[in-house]
């Protein structure tokens, strides 16, 4: 691998390694931003520096002296490519956590207020090969190395780590590479497969998403015809999203992102009921519908999600566009199917043709899909002898992180206790985060 330089400015050698910003007081909370300078490549002395932003949240129920004595909790967000939560009040799991922790909400490298990794900044590098080498340092192993450096600079002992979805994947990497930095780990919807190709993941995912489609259409049978009608309409009639690009049937299918929600799934029905308007006797998609779809099918706000998505499963092998490969086994998801199903979080190479935000990243995405020299993300020997208390919520009907694969991973990790439930779906902490957090925290204290 050739050396990669950082495409972003603002990391002069004289700048301090940690800067705490002013504290803002909101409804029941105080929030303080922190900026940390970290190496792009933690294993390479003299590596270029990038910035990682994190925001500290604490409850106003604790005075400043009490807050200074509270232990830290690091929250690792879902993704990849997802920035930390921007909280304006303490609710849900954060309300529960703030009773006894200082919460550190990480903008994982490349996201939020951290040094950005997007089409504009990556375009400063000489060519797509340099961009691919740069992005090779944006996976869970580098996120964990950032967290350990940040923990040291904050003067924290081992801290509690809470990982949601991809944040759970990162937590397993943390337990593999630096378990001494964790006092306890809480994971929701995020027990990653420890080995094997991503094809295994997508075979399970397609099956789960199909079952969720069937469940949804059993509740709203009329929506089955509407989805098919929209797909066939888009084959015949050019409809354009507010950003200007044509909406295709296969891109429309991405609204299946709603299916992963516990209550959010029902918002899909409200979206579909606004689909058509009559213009001089001709059915067209409504401006209201197209505006909402734009927000669901664009990766403009989260380009790393598409670029890095399949690499999060790779250890010593290339993904080779696994979701597209497995799709051939599930023709019911093809837009040309008689009754096409809505899709989940799978990423396909055509994303980089149809989404204007992703088109400049098509060459680097192709290189990453073919890349074979991905390093290990998990140490199964370390996990098999783990002494850190771990509590994990496994959602029985999760369409993104499969139950069977999750339980297989759980069985390979010592000192991990599973709470399996069918009460929630993948975004359970958005529905009753306070109860879920309290339950998992209690499990680590038995």
Active-site residue identified among 165, 176, 298, 319: 165
Q: Tell me: do 237 and 307 sit in the same domain.
A: yes
Q: What is the pTM of this model?
A: 0.95
Q: Tell me: do 121 and 251 sit in the same domain.
A: no
Q: Tell me: do 351 and 403 sit in the same domain.
A: no
Portion of the chain with pLDDT greater than 90, in percent: 94
Give the closest residue to 242 by CA, choosing from 203, 282, 295.
295
State the total domains in the chain.
2
Q: Tell me: do 76 and 158 sit in the same domain.
A: yes
Residue 30 β-bridge partners: 25, 58
- 4 located within any domain: no
Residues 157-202 pLDDT 10s: 999 999 999 999 999 999 999 999 999 999 999 999 999 999 999 9
Active-site residue identified among 6, 398, 426, 427: 426
Confidence band for 344, pLDDT divided at 50, 70 and 90: confident
| Residues 359, 303: Cα–Cα separation, whole Å | 10
pLDDT at res. 9: 44
| Residues 359, 87: Cα–Cα separation, whole Å | 32
pLDDT at res. 10: 46
| Residues 418, 104: Cα–Cα separation, whole Å | 25
Q: How far is CA 249 from the centre of its chain?
A: 25
- 334 located within any domain: yes
| DSSP assignment of 200-248 | HHHHHHHHHHHHHHHHHHHH-HHHHHHHHHHHHHHHHS--B-TTSPBPP
Sheet holding 49-59, edge to edge: 18-26, 29-39, 49-59, 102-107, 72-76, 159-164, 182-188, 390-395, 416-421
Q: 100 pLDDT exceeds 70?
A: yes
Q: Tell me: do 189 and 211 sit in the same domain.
A: no
Among this protein's residues, is 432 annotated catalytic? no
| Residues 201, 20: Cα–Cα separation, whole Å | 40
| Residues 319, 370: Cα–Cα separation, whole Å | 7
The CATH number that applies at residue 72 is: 3.40.50.1820
Q: Tell me: do 44 and 86 sit in the same domain.
A: yes
Domain boundary among 306, 335, 370: 370
| Mean pLDDT (whole number) for 287-305 | 96
Q: Tell me: do 117 and 266 sit in the same domain.
A: no
Domain boundary among 351, 370, 389: 370
Q: Tell me: do 56 and 157 sit in the same domain.
A: yes
Name the average pLDDT for the chain: 95
Q: 315 pLDDT exceeds 90?
A: yes
Among this protein's residues, is 141 annotated catalytic? no
Residue 29 domain boundaries: 18-195+376-443
Domain boundary among 331, 352, 370: 370
- 238 located within any domain: yes
3-state helix, strand, coil in the chain (%, to 5): 45, 20, 40
Q: Tell me: do 203 and 290 sit in the same domain.
A: yes
Q: Any residues with CB less than 8 A from the CB of 436 and at least 6 apart, and which? A: 93, 188, 393, 424, 428, 429
Confidence band for 445, pLDDT divided at 50, 70 and 90: very high
Q: 11 pLDDT exceeds 60?
A: no
| Residues 333, 170: Cα–Cα separation, whole Å | 30
- 12 located within any domain: no
Q: Tell me: do 325 and 383 sit in the same domain.
A: no
Among this protein's residues, is 233 annotated catalytic? no
Give the closest residue to 234 by CA, choosing from 254, 217, 211, 220.
254
Residues 367-410 pLDDT 10s: 999 999 999 999 999 999 999 999 999 999 999 999 999 999 99
- 6 located within any domain: no
Portion of the chain with pLDDT greater than 70, in percent: 97
Residue 163 β-bridge partners: 76, 187
- 320 located within any domain: yes
pLDDT at res. 15: 79
Q: Tell me: do 385 and 419 sit in the same domain.
A: yes
| Mean pLDDT (whole number) for 12-18 | 77
| Mean pLDDT (whole number) for 131-159 | 98
Residues 33-62 pLDDT 10s: 999 999 999 999 999 999 999 999 999 999
pLDDT at res. 13: 55
Question: Is 65 exposed, middle or buried (CB count within 10 Å of its CB: 0-12, 13-18, 19+)?
Answer: exposed
Q: 12 pLDDT exceeds 60?
A: no
Q: Tell me: do 363 and 399 sit in the same domain.
A: no
- 158 located within any domain: yes
Helix (H, G, I), strand (E, B) or coil at 76: strand
Helix (H, G, I), strand (E, B) or coil at 43: coil
- 5 located within any domain: no
């Amino acid at each position: 691998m050739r050396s990669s330089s950082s495409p972003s400015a603002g990391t002069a050698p004289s700048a301090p390694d940690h800067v705490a910003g002013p504290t803002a007081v909101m409804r029941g909370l105080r929030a303080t931003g922190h900026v940390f300078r970290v190496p792009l490549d933690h294993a390479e002395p003299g590596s270029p520096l990038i910035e990682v932003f994190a925001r500290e949240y604490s409850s106003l129920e604790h005075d400043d002296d009490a807050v200074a004595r509270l232990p830290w909790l690091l929250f690792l967000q879902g993704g990849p490519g997802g920035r930390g939560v921007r909280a304006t009040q303490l609710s849900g799991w954060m309300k529960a956590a703030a009773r006894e922790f200082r919460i550190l909400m990480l903008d994982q490298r490349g996201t939020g207020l951290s040094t950005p990794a997007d089409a504009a900044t990556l375009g400063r590098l000489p060519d797509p090969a340099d961009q691919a080498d740069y992005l090779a340092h944006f996976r869970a192993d580098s996120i964990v190395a950032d967290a350990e450096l940040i923990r040291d600079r904050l003067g924290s002992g081992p801290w509690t780590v809470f990982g949601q979805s991809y944040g759970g994947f990162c937590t397993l990497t943390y337990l593999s590479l630096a378990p001494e930095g964790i006092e306890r780990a809480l994971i929701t919807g995020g027990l990653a497969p420890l080995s094997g190709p991503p094809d295994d993941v997508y075979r399970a995912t397609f099956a789960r998403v199909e079952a969720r489609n069937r469940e949804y259409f059993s509740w709203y049978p009329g929506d089955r015809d509407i989805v098919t009608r929209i797909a066939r309409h888009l084959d015949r009639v050019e409809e354009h999203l507010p950003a200007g690009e044509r909406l295709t049937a296969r891109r429309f299918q991405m609204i299946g992102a709603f299916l992963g929600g516990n209550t959010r799934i029902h918002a899909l029905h409200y979206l579909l009921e606004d689909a058509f308007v009559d213009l001089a006797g001709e059915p067209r998609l409504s401006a209201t519908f197209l505006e909402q779809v734009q927000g669901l099918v664009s990766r403009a706000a989260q380009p790393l999600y598409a670029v890095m998505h399949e690499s999060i499963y790779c250890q010593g092998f290339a993904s080779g566009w696994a979701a597209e490969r497995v799709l051939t086994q599930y023709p019911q998801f093809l837009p040309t199917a008689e009754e096409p199903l809505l899709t989940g979080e799978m990423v396909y190479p055509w994303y980089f043709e149809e989404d204007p935000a992703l088109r400049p990243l098509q060459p680097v995405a192709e290189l990453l899909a073919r890349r074979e020299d991905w390093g290990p993300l998990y140490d199964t020997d370390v996990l098999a002898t783990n002494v850190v208390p771990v509590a994990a919520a496994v959602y029985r009907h999760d369409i993104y992180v499969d139950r069977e694969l999750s339980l297989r991973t759980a069985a390979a990790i010592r000192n991990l206790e599973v709470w399996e439930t069918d009460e929630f779906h993948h975004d359970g902490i958005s529905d009753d985060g306070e109860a879920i957090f309290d339950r998992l925290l209690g499990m680590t204290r038995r």
